Amino acid sequence: MTHPRTARADRGRLATSLDWDPSDRQLHLHNGQVSLVLRVFEDGTLGQLHLGAPLPAGRSYRHLGPNPFPGFANRVGSPVPLAYATSGTGDFRVPALVAATADGATSLSLRYRDHRITAGKPAPEGLPSTYVEGPSEAKTLEITLVDEPAGIEVDLRFSMFDGRPLIARSALIRNVGAAPIDLRCAMSLSLDLPDADWHMVGLAGSWARERHVTDRALVPGRQSVSSVRGASSHEHNPFVALRRASTDEAHGEAYGFSLVYSGNFLAEVEVEPYGTARVRLGIEPSTFSWRLEPGATFPVPEAIVAYSATGLGSLSDAFHELFRDRLARGRWRDRPRPIVINNWEATYFGFDADRLVEIATTARDLGVELFVLDDGWFGARDDDTTSLGDWFVDRRKLPDGLDGLARRITELGMGFGLWIEPEMISQRSRLFEAHPDWAIGIPGRPRTESRHQLVLDMTRPEVVDHLTMVLTDVLSSAPIAYVKSDMNRNITEPFSPSLPPDRQGEFFHRYILGTYELYGRLTERFPEILFESCAGGGGRFDPGLLAFAPQAWTSDDTDAVERLSIQWGTSLAYPPSSMAAHVAAVPNHQVGRISSLSTRAAVAFFGVFGYELNPTVLEEEERAEIADQIRFYRAHRELFQRGRFVRLESPFEGDGNRVAWMSVAGDGRQAVAGLYQVLSRADPGPSRLRLRGLDPDAVYRVTTWPAYDDSLARANAGERSGAELMAAGLVLDAERWEIAVRGDFWARLFVLDAV
C-alpha cells in the first residue's frame, strides 16, 4: 500500500504539459492534478472553458464554451466565460481590467494575439511571488491579448507547478500607444465558473480576533471581502475559498484563491442572472489607479488558485506546501525555528538590561533558545506616545547599548532578537522634527493619529533609503539573530506630496512597493537573520510578507481558547511553519481568562512555539512544567513546524466546545493529535475522535501528553493500527470524577509513534 505522503510525491512526478490545438484554437495546460482549458473564441476573445479537476489530454472541450458562439454582439450580457474580462463591450459582470484611454473612454476589448510556453516561472517585477528552484518544476503559459485602438497589451501568465493542484496567475499590462493610459482596475485573477452552487469561505475578524472562518452560500449579485486600510488587515484576509454545500474537510470539491499581496485587496464573487459565478481577486480598485505612460508596463500581483476534489483539508495541504517551500525563501525556509521568549507582556516598556538578562537567564535554564527584545529599546520610548523613527538605543535602559545587551544574551548560549517598526513615526521624535513631511498626511489638513503614531510615506524612495540606512546600522551593531518587524496602525489621509495630483491614486500600491523594497533589502543584507512579520498581531498575515519573512506573529491574542479559532482559521491557507504561537501569562492580558499552562502549550505547540511571559515570577513547579513543555516541543519540533496539519473538529461548527486537530510527519511515522474542550460538561458520555492522514497499514504506539495515568490514557494506551485510528478513532471515555477534575479549558495531546 502506498503511503499517503508517498502518493503525493508520486503524483508530483507528473510533469505539466500544454496541448495546443490550432484548429480548435484550444490551449489545455494540465499536470494530472488540475486542468486549465482556454480557447480563442471566434471573435478573438480569450475564453476560459475550464479550471479545476484534471481532464484528459488530447480532446476538444469546445462544447464547454458558448456554442454556437454568440459573442456579445448577438446577445449582450450573456455569461461568456472569459479569461480576463473587460467592461463596456457587452459583459456587465465585474471586470478584471478597466483602463481609461486618452479620450476618457473606458471600454476595452482584448483579443488574442499569440502565446508561448516556457519552462519555469517568471516573477512579477518588483513584487513578491512563488518561485521554482529549477525550470523543470513548472511551466508557464503566457498569452498576449491586445486592444489595438486603445494601445493596450496584456500578457496573461498561467504557471502550473508539477505535482501541485494549483496555478499561479499574473498579468503584465503594457501601454503600446502614444498617449498615457489610466488603469482603474487591474485584477490578478478572474475566473468564470459554470454554476454558483458554492459557499464562499473567508477569514474575517478584527485586532486580536483575526481569521475567524466565515461561510455563506452564494446569492445572486456581488459578495466580497476587501481591505482599504493600506494593509491586508486584521479584518479580512486576501484568501477566499469556494466549497460545495456538502464539502467538508475530507470530501468534496473546493477552490482556494490567494493573493500574494499585503495592501488593499478585493476578493469578490458575482453571481449573474443566468446562475454562473465570476470570481475576481486583486488590488482593491476603489483605492487604486495607475498612470501608464507610453511604453510603460504594470505588473499585477500574483494570485494562486488551487483546486481540490477531496475537501478543504487537501486545499490547505496545497497552499501549505507551496507557501512553506516555494513562497518562503532564504536560509530560514527549511531550518528548524528557535523557541523564543519575548519580553513584551513580561515588561511592556518598563525594563532595563539587568531585568532583561534575568528573564533571559531563567528562560535559558528552562530550554528557551532565543530572547526577543520587543518595543521600547530606542529613543525615549517609555510609552507608545513617542520615539518611533528614532532607531538609536535608549542608554537610560541599556547603558551598554544593544551590543552590550546582545552579548550578555548570547553569552548565555541564546540567540538575540529585536523588535522594530520601520514604517512608523511618532510626532514626538527626532525624525519628525527633522522630516515632518515624511509622515503621511495632506498638507494643510490635520492628520489622524492611531496609537499616537503616524505612518511614514513609503512611496518616497528617500524614506526607504533612510530606513535602509538606519536599520542596517542597527542590525549590524549587535549579534542579532531574529527580527520582529511590526506595523501597528492603518493608513489615513492617503496622500504623498511626491506624487502629482492626477497620480494620487497610485499611493496605496506604491506604499506597499516601498515596504517590499525595504523588506527585500534588509532580508538580502542579513540573510542569517530570521525575520518575523507582525502588524499589531496578525494584521498583515498574508503571502506577500511571507515571501520575505517565513513566519508571522499570528495574533496579539495569546489566550489558548481564542487561539483555537485563530489558528484553525489561519491554517486554512497558511502552514504551521508561518504561525508564531506563544504561551502567555494568566490571567490572559487580552481576555482575562485563566487556563492551565499545559492547555496554553497544547495549543501553541501547533506552530512556531515560544513564550510571552516573565518566567522569573513563576512558581518552581510552573518552571518545571515549562522545561517539560520545551523538551516535548524540541522532540517534536519538525513534526509541529513542518508536518501536515489536519483539522479534525472545528471551533466554528456546532457549539464549538470541542476542537481537535493533528500534525502528521512527512513520512507518516509520527503524529500528534490535540484535543481541546472549552467548557466542561457533566457526564458527557463516551465518544471518539477519528483521526485522518495516518498510514492505514502502520501500527502506532499511542501515549498522551501530559502523561497522566487516567482513564483517557489507559483506554488508548498500546498499539493501534492507522486504519483503526482513522475508522474507529481514539476512545474518549472518562470516569465522571475525572471529568470534574478536568474543569474548563482542558486539553490533551495524543502522541502516535509507528512501531
Contact residues toward ligand DGJ (CB under 6 A) are 344, 374-375, 419, 486, 488, 534, 536-537, 553, 556
Cβ–Cβ under 8 Å, residues 643 and 650: no
Least distance to ligand DGJ from the beta carbon of 419, Å?
5
Say whether 384 is catalytic: no
Reduced to 3 states, what is the DSSP secondary structure of residue 265?
strand
User: Distance between CA 567 and CA 449 in Å, rounded?
Assistant: 30
Cβ–Cβ under 8 Å, residues 264 and 508: yes
Q: Which is nearer to ligand DGJ, 284 or 486 (CB)?
A: 486
Least distance to ligand DGJ from the beta carbon of 295, Å?
43
Q: Which of 592, 459, 598, 564 has its CA nearest to residue 516?
A: 459
Q: Which is nearer to ligand DGJ, 121 or 337 (CB)?
A: 337
Which spans in 112-242 are helix H?
Answer: none
Least distance to ligand DGJ from the beta carbon of 553, Å?
5
Q: Which is nearer to ligand DGJ, 486 or 506 (CB)?
A: 486
Q: Which of 175, 164, 84, 170 has its CA nearest to residue 122?
A: 170
Residues in contact with 172: Cβ distance below 8 Å, sequence separation at least 6, in sequence order: 124, 125, 154, 155, 157, 297, 298, 299, 300
Q: Which of 217, 329, 182, 313 has its CA nearest to residue 256?
A: 313
Q: Which helix (H) or strand (E) holds 51?
A: strand 46-52
Q: Which is nearer to ligand DGJ, 449 or 719 (CB)?
A: 449
Reduced to 3 states, what is the DSSP secondary structure of residue 603?
helix
Least distance to ligand DGJ from the beta carbon of 483, Å?
12
Cβ–Cβ under 8 Å, residues 238 and 232: yes
Q: Which is nearer to ligand DGJ, 358 or 384 (CB)?
A: 384
Least distance to ligand DGJ from the beta carbon of 675, Å?
28
Least distance to ligand DGJ from the beta carbon of 427, Å?
17
Reduced to 3 states, what is the DSSP secondary structure of residue 124?
coil
CA angle 679, 684, 689 (to 5 degrees): 85
Q: Which of 431, 479, 480 has its CA nearest to residue 455?
A: 431
Scored b (16 or more CB within 10 A) or e, 580-600 reads bbbbbbbebbbeeeebbbbbb
Q: Which is nearer to ligand DGJ, 288 or 344 (CB)?
A: 344
CA angle 543, 546, 552 (to 5 degrees): 115
Say whether 192 is catalytic: no
CA distances from 374 to 213, 234, 485, 654 (A): 30, 21, 10, 39
Q: Return the C-alpha cell found at 519.
A: 523588506
CA angle 695, 697, 698 (to 5 degrees): 70
Query: Looking at beta carbons, which residue is closest to ligand DGJ?
Result: 375
Helix, strand, coil shares of the chain, percent, nearest 5, are 25, 30, 45
Least distance to ligand DGJ from the beta carbon of 608, Å?
14
Q: What is the DSSP letter of 447?
A: P
Q: Which residue has the cell 483517557?
A: 712
Residue 621 CA from chain centroid, whole number: 37
Cβ–Cβ under 8 Å, residues 557 and 208: yes
User: Distance between CA 47 and CA 50 in Å, rounded?
Assistant: 9
Catalytic residue (choose from 182, 486, 542, 628): 486
Reduced to 3 states, what is the DSSP secondary structure of residue 402?
helix
Least distance to ligand DGJ from the beta carbon of 515, Å?
17
Reduced to 3 states, what is the DSSP secondary structure of residue 45?
coil
Q: Which is nearer to ligand DGJ, 154 or 480 (CB)?
A: 480
Q: Which is nearer to ligand DGJ, 312 or 487 (CB)?
A: 487
Least distance to ligand DGJ from the beta carbon of 536, Å?
5
Least distance to ligand DGJ from the beta carbon of 348, Å?
8
User: Distance between CA 120 and CA 134 in Å, rounded?
Assistant: 7
CA angle 128, 131, 135 (to 5 degrees): 145
Q: Which is nearer to ligand DGJ, 84 or 207 (CB)?
A: 207
Catalytic residue (choose from 556, 559, 628, 695): 556
Least distance to ligand DGJ from the beta carbon of 556, Å?
5
Q: Which is nearer to ligand DGJ, 542 or 625 (CB)?
A: 542
Q: Which is nearer to ligand DGJ, 347 or 504 (CB)?
A: 347
Active site residues: 486, 556
